[in-house]
Structure 1
Amino acid sequence: MDAGVTLLGVRHHGPGSARAVAAALAQLRPDTVLIEGPPEADRITALAGEKEMVPPVALLAHAADDPARAAFWPFAEFSPEWVALRYAVERDLPVRFIDLPAGHTLAPDGTPDEAAAGAPDGCPDDATRAPSGEDAAAADPIAALARAAGHDDPERWWEDVIEHRTPGADALTPFEAVAEAMTALRETGPVGRRDELREAYMRQQIRAARRAGHRTVAVVCGAWHVPALRDMPTVAHDRALLAELPRKVRTEITWVPWTHRRLSQHTGYGAGIDSPGWYRHLFGTERDTVARWITRIAELLRAEDHPVSSAHVIESVRLAETLAVMRGRPLAGLTETLDAVRSVMCDGSDVPLALVHDRLVVGDALGEVPDGAPAVPLQRDLTRLQRSLRLKAEAADRELALDLRKELDADRSRLLHRLRLLGIDWGTPSRSTVNSTGTFRETWRLRWEPEFAVRIAEAAQWGTTVESAATGKVIGDAAAAAELSDLTALAERALLAGLPGALPAVMRLLADRAALDTDVAHLAAALPALVRALRYGDVRGTDSAALAGVARGLAERICVGLPPACTGLDADGATAMRAHLDAVHAAVGLLTADDGRPAGEGPTVEGPAGSAGGPEGSIAERWAAALRSLAAREPGGGPATGAPGLLRGRAVRLLLDDGRLETEEAGRRMGLVLSPAGSPADAAGWIEGFLAGGGALLLHDAALLGLLDDWLAGVPADTFTDLLPVLRRTFSALEAGVRRTVGERVATGPLTAPAAVSEETPGYDLARADAALPTLALLLGIPAPAPERPRIPHQASHRDT
């Protein structure tokens, strides 16, 4: 090795290595610094010196024509490479990255690269381990060195030898020892082909620095590479190796924020640091390291209402230091401090200790990059929107409650929905903690992830702003949609996101697809999303007239085709259709909330003869007629000629709940189904469909409960065994209180209807009860009864109950 070149072998993201590098650079005073990393980043190294650049950050490189092929090189405050980079930038020294160019590693036909696969070189274990690859040594270098030193825990040994040590009088001595150890390890096994290529390129860059006239060159690289860079082969040898590299692809590179949580992950775009928060504390604390760390833990526990006093802190520090002495460690490490905290502050419980691990050992630190960092136009527009809407990207989870009646909150909602369309799930909808069912409220769970930078680069192909990109993405997804329900879901999401430019194209495709699709199940799956879109469109003040026309057309076709589509279904088909039945019923209720019915006109009621009133031709009436037709499709000539009992029972229950069927009529139909002439299996399915909406009506109508009880008591024993799974499923779905009360009533003996309530009934003042009816009707959202209504028995009307 040239005497003017000093190799500083490090472990990536190691606080001890970072302190050692800082001391070595101060001693060497180099005139140039070379760092392991992608050379494409040379043009943006100056950004590392700006005050707006706050680690953890990462270099992001991606193929210009395929942003999905991307790689990250993360840097933390305690990363040796970051320390070297800041040292050079602050002193205006030439600084270069000397690893293989990202253009080679991201090439489609390139050598498989951990960075391109989502685990960039820069992981802490990559610096001191045998390289991966087909011909790589399988041994772990750290484990080999620890075993040689008589230790069974490689990580603890490395911390004791490197991370917990402070630089001595000669800052270069530790690097010489590490180089000697790595030389011995590399002699025990083969080196991976990828590492050979990387090291050949590094040697070329070192030679180039010397040719440029630099007298003192400091090279900061993974310790594993030091032996290969110290003993240089000929230039011809390295050129022959590099001739194997694939053709470079055009790449783009920038700085992006990173998080401690991502550093702690061993897969994906992580770096494999188990305790980045602890490492940051080690690097930034010069004295009283353990005492200050345990004090931070105490502050956290106090903030979470755990009783922790100063005495707990003192005792924890003493216990941690005692454990370190007993275990032969130079300094109490993370293991000793957590053991002490668990024993003293957490009373032996791991529950509060898990909070300490999540908040402090790992942490939620999120880096920042200056505005001058290169970015695609989409990223710049998103940054502008984040500022104007006062939505700061944060690594920690936080809840955001929005009131869509406010302009700012509506704009925030549109942004989050647009990002979700682009695959950037910064916000995910969650259940509101506010007791409100209004559609003007939304609750989001926000959490920013570093890999969103890659998704933003991918989404840039659709547009230069968030709105235009989301619009382009929706149109593209609509053209590729395979099912009608996919199109209706896109229409709903486009309305939620406030994308008027996307709706015409989606509506054209939706109308064309709906006109050709004759499958009632497909139509039924598509309708609910359209109706929800209409509902949300009203809240947001968007024009959804086109959606209304398509939704009504779908509803009308479902009304016509539903009864025949329910004929001859097997058990699985009936179960799937029942879900569609419920969804369409709810959708029709929303769709017909303003269908022209005069104010105050209540729902019509079907009498025993099956008559119906209401506005002729309305969707609500057509849907009711479809349900009545379905309820009447009994399997007279066999199961294949009629609708399954599950669907017929469900249709009766929906009509009953809507007030279009009297309780007596529902009881009559139940009696026919449960008669000895009927099939027990069909009767069990009918009961399952009828009770699926809740069994409280059995408590209010003794006649229905009596019919059901008599039928169950009369089912033959062998048939009852076959029906038991269906019956268990039916009654287990009822509320616990309903099941208990039904059981108590059945246990009391024969079920009889309660006496009718009349003017002469003792204890009842019907005049006072009538006075409360208008208010009750207003609360329930139903028309108020006429002032002189006929007195009806309590059990005769399901609506009155």
Structure 2
Amino acid sequence: MPTTQRRVEDVALLGVRHHGPGSARAVAAALAQYRPDTVLIEGPPEADALLELAAHQDMVPPVALLAHVVDDPARAAFWPFAAFSPEWVALRHALDHGVPVRFIDLPAAHGFAREREEEPEAPGIDPIGELARAAGHDDPEQWWDDAVEHRSADDADALGPFRGIAEAMAELRPPGSEPSGAHEARREAFMRRQIRAARRAGHQRIAVVCGAWHVPALAARPPVAADDALLKGLPKAKVELTWVPWTHRRLSQHTGYGAGIASPGWYQHLFESTDRGTVRWMTKVAALLRAEDHSVSSAHVIEAVRLAETLAAMRGRPLPGLAESTDAVRAVMCEGSDVPLALVQDLMVVGDRMGQVPDEAPTVPLQRDLTRLQRSLRLKPEPGERDLDLDLRKDTDAARSRLLHRLSLLDIPWGRAAASRTGSTGTFRESWRLVWEPELAIKVAEAGIWGTTVESAATGRARDLAAHSGSLGEVTALAEGCLLADLPDALPTVLQALADRAALDADVAHLAEALPALVRSLRYGDVRGTDATALRELAEGLAVRICIGLPPACNSLDAEGAGAMAGHLGSTHAAVALLTDSDADDLRRRWSATLRTLAERDTIAGLLRGRAARLLLDDNQWDAAEAARQMRLTLSPVTPPAEAAGWIEGFLAGGGMLLVHDTRLLGLVDDWLTSVPDAAFPDVLPLLRRTFSGFEPGVRRTIADRIRSGTKAADTPSDDRPGFAPDLDPLRAAKARKTATLLLGLSHAQPGGARNCAANHPPTEVRS
């Protein structure tokens, strides 16, 4: 009897492809026939104590084993298992039949310690690719699917396929060949050691489920001393393991912790459908498309099945695969369009299935508290994106908001702020986009160093950030986050750090950058009922310092500096308006005086002077006549064209409707533009193009119409300017009469009502 066959009698080496449905069915059939007295599976042996949980009624794959270094949770690794994973099938077989089961791969503790050594590995070969080429196939994935995944188990000799795999891999790894890299050699040496230990324990029918590539190495019997030498003195790290939910979408990703399975939803279907798989798949596709309002009938399903089977026969495949099924769905059900086909790809071929682990699985205290909060607030983790609109006036929504903001402080981005779908801008509204990724389990483990509950951990994290934040802007954002997260125990520390940074920071730009965030924090604090007196005093102090330091800080700025400072002007102006109650407020008056200084000082860049002038006009501190006077002075021939263009850019940054409603200003701009010397015009044009491109298309069109109709200088009597005639135009006025009547609530029985109303006002006011 051949040596390989003799070894199979006491050790059945079941070489598999990880996450393969055909491999999983073959493993199930082989174990049922072989009836092992122990099962050994490629995996981290530190997880042996957790294997019993796989049989728990609340354990639903896909799931993953998560291992992380105790003192450095960011160093972590996952071992995913789907329902169609051969390792999962073997594990459940052992637990269901009361057979001892263990993991036999090199311990994770050694693997994490090896990361520190940064040991280089030689590139290995692709065994499936080599076998496919030997069989005359240029597509390794398709060849493996045809040879293994799409075939049904042969009950007469369930171990036969695994003997064939072993022989094929032995050809790729002849005796004496070394694995790719020392780490692979150590893994295989450790697995051989575990097989020997099972023999010594008295087991006589040992089933080993491992990657097919390892089968020749495990079938060989090198000297024990050689394996011991490879494993001697390996460094170790202290690790902890647990079960965590996983998703099909994460299985499909080739980077990070994904398993690189392009079609987990399809593989799940292959594993679950023991007969008429193509018919069942097409039926599911039809149901999905119907749910999305696509017209798909039973006839479509029948024709799609026929086409898929025909394509498989033409391509020499035993059964229709994903490629044939996809082509048939595109042609028959999607009428050649890839748009509905993308929906099938996303929701069925990949899928959003998410697993579940029992409460008995070990977790860090922070994870237990997070799970408790998720249940009490009815926020179930889901793998797909979910939009959540919150009304902070409701207790449950306010608690949800606090949880999400606290997790954000802990760098656990379960939810991200999103634009409101209702269009509401009230501070009592919040919108979030939630998506739970399996990697967040690592984030939770990392955040566990700050506390055992979400609130205590967020408080500890906020205090640490306050102590180590380097800039005023960072501490300001942190203060806003503490108010949003409702962390009263952290707020005093953060406010003290904020006051210290503000006192030492003399950069007006930094102060102006911090003020809007403080004012937003005050508004949110009001909504949540938070006492923000200290924050208000700090914000008012910053505003006063900005008023004092802004004019000298704006002197002699270059174009880039002026552009940045112009943004600070607008944000500070809005912040002061929110911080004060009326124009009579001392802070509001001080700020208006600062803007006047900026608007009238010649040593300040035109962009800033124009922006200050526009803010004064919008705030009713200047009337239109004063704004026109300032524009006339700036656009005089003595002003360099580039400086004048900068002034216009700053002045019109608030929108172009100003030129539509005030033809005096439009005339000034038009007169100046036509007088720009030819030599200077190329330098002015980019600034003007940037300014006017920011206007709405309708505004630009109206301005152009006004210019084509002819504009006059600002000192032209209003009665002679286009659009400002001494008498009403009866035809144009008649069009507005009906609307004016409705707006004023006048009856149509009063034909003179609208005319009398118009007659009592000067023509210019009526047109305004």
Query: Quick check: 1:166 aligned with 2:152?
Result: yes
Deviation string, structure 1 residues 75-125 (Cα, Å, up to 9, x no partner) = 000000000111111222211100011111112665659xxxxxxxxxxxx
Alpha-carbon distance change, 57 to 349 in structure 1, aligned in 2, over 3 angstroms? same
- Alpha carbons 1:135, 1:190 under 8 Å: kept: no
Q: Which amino acid aligns with 2:386?
A: R
Aligned residues: 734
Corresponding residue number in structure 2 for 1:498: 486
* 1:152 aligned partner: 138
Match of 1:443 in 2: 431
Partners of 2:725 and 2:75 lie apart in 1 by 76
Q: Distance in 1 between matches of 2:387 and 2:375?
A: 18
Cα distance in structure 1, aligned partners of 2:41 and 2:77: 17
CA distance in 2, matches of 1:187, 1:400: 58
Counterpart contact for 1:111–1:194, Cα < 8 Å = no
Instruction: Find the partner of 1:66 among 72, 90, 94.
Output: 72
Please tell me the residue identity of whatever aligns with 1:630. Answer: L
Structure 1 residue 750, shift from structure 2 partner: 3.2
2:59 partner SS: coil
In structure 2, what is the equivalent of residue 780 of structure 1?
none
State the 1:792 CA deviation: 8.6
Q: What is the Cα deviation at residue 230 of structure 1?
A: 0.6
Q: Deviations over 1:668-711 (max 9, x none)?
A: 00000011121111100000000000010111111100111111
Per-residue CA shift, 1:564-607, capped at 9, x if unaligned? 11110000000010111111111111111x3xx4xxxxx5xxxx
Amino acid at match of 1:228: A
Which among 175, 181, 205 is matched to residue 216 of structure 1? 205
Supply the AA of the counterpart residue of 1:186: R
**Structure 1 letter corresponding to 2:465:** D
Match of 1:694 in 2: 655
Deviations 1:272-295 (A, max 9, x none): 000000000000111110011111
Post-superposition shift, 1:773?
10
> RMSD value over aligned CA atoms?
2.3
Q: Select which of 292, 302, 307 maps to 2:290.
A: 302
> Could you tell me how far apart the structure 2 residues matched to 1:794 and 1:32 are?
99
**Hey, what's the Cα distance between the residues in 1 that align with 2:369 and 2:87?**
31
Give distance in 1, aligned partners of 2:324 and 2:669.
67
What residue number does 1:749 align with? 710
User: Match of 2:597?
Assistant: 629
Q: Distance in 2 between matches of 1:337 and 1:559?
A: 69
Partner Cα separation in structure 2 for residue 771 and residue 659 of structure 1: 30
Q: In the alignment, is the contact (CA less than 8 A) between 2:392 and 2:527 conserved in 1?
A: yes
| 1:299 shift after superposition | 1.0
* Cα pair 1:258 1:450 within 8 Å, conserved: yes
Structure 2, gaps ≥5 residues long = 1-6, 713-719, 746-759
Following TM superposition, by how much is the alpha carbon of 1:141 offset from its aligned partner in structure 2, in angstroms? Answer: 1.3
Structure 1 Cα separation of the partners of residues 741 and 557 of structure 2: 47
Matches within 5 A, 1:753-792: 753=721
SS of equivalent residue, structure 1 residue 13? coil
Greater share of helix residues, 1 or 2?
Answer: 2
1:55 aligns with 2:23: no
Partner of 1:118: none
Hey, what does 2:220 align to over in structure 1? 231
The corresponding residue for 1:135 is 122
Cα separation, 2, equivalents of 1:680 and 1:367: 67
Are 2:546 and 1:573 equivalent residues in the alignment?
no
More deviation, 642-651/207-216 = 207-216
Normalising by structure 2, we get a TM-score of 0.92
Counterpart CA distance in 2 for 1:14 and 1:464 is 39
Q: What amino acid maps onto 2:28 in structure 1?
A: A
User: Deviation string for 1:699-748 (max 9, x for gaps)?
Assistant: 11111001111111111111111111111101111111111110111011
Alignment partner, residue 590 of structure 1: 578
Report the counterpart of residue 399 of structure 1 in structure 2: 387
Deviations 1:280-332 (Å, cap 9, x if unpaired)?
00001111100111111111111111111111111110000000000000000
Give the aligned partner of residue 388 of structure 1: 376
Alpha-carbon distance in 1 for matches of 2:721, 2:451: 68
Aligned counterparts of 1:662 and 1:175: Cα–Cα separation in 2: 89
Q: Distance in 2 between matches of 1:309 and 1:718?
A: 71
Corresponding position of 2:750: none
Matched AA of 2:24: A
SS in 1 for 2:240: strand
Pairing of 1:680-759 with structure 2 (within 5 A): 680-751=641-712, 753=721
| Partner Cα distance (1:526, 1:14) in 2 | 55
> For 1:686 and 1:730, how far apart are their aligned partners in 2?
11
Amino acid at match of 1:97: F
Gaps of 5+ in 1: 114-132, 598-602, 604-613, 635-641, 775-790
The alpha-carbon deviation at position 769 of structure 1 amounts to 8.5
- Per the alignment, residue 504 of structure 2 pairs with 516
Shift of 1:243: 1.1
Once the 2 structures are TM-superposed, how far is the Cα of residue 495 of structure 1 from its aligned partner?
0.8
- Partner residue of 2:367? 379
d(CA) in 1 for partners of 2:289, 2:607: 55
Q: Does 1:32 align with 2:38?
A: yes
* Preserved contact between residue 41 and residue 97 of structure 1 (Cα < 8 Å): yes
1:75 to 81, 88, 95: 81
User: How many angstroms apart in 1 are the aligned matches of 2:166 and 2:727?
Assistant: 102
1:89 pairs, out of 92, 95, 109, with 95
Match of 1:537 in 2: 525
Residue 183 (str. 1) matches residue 170 (str. 2): yes
Matches of 1:755 and 1:32, distance apart in 2: 95
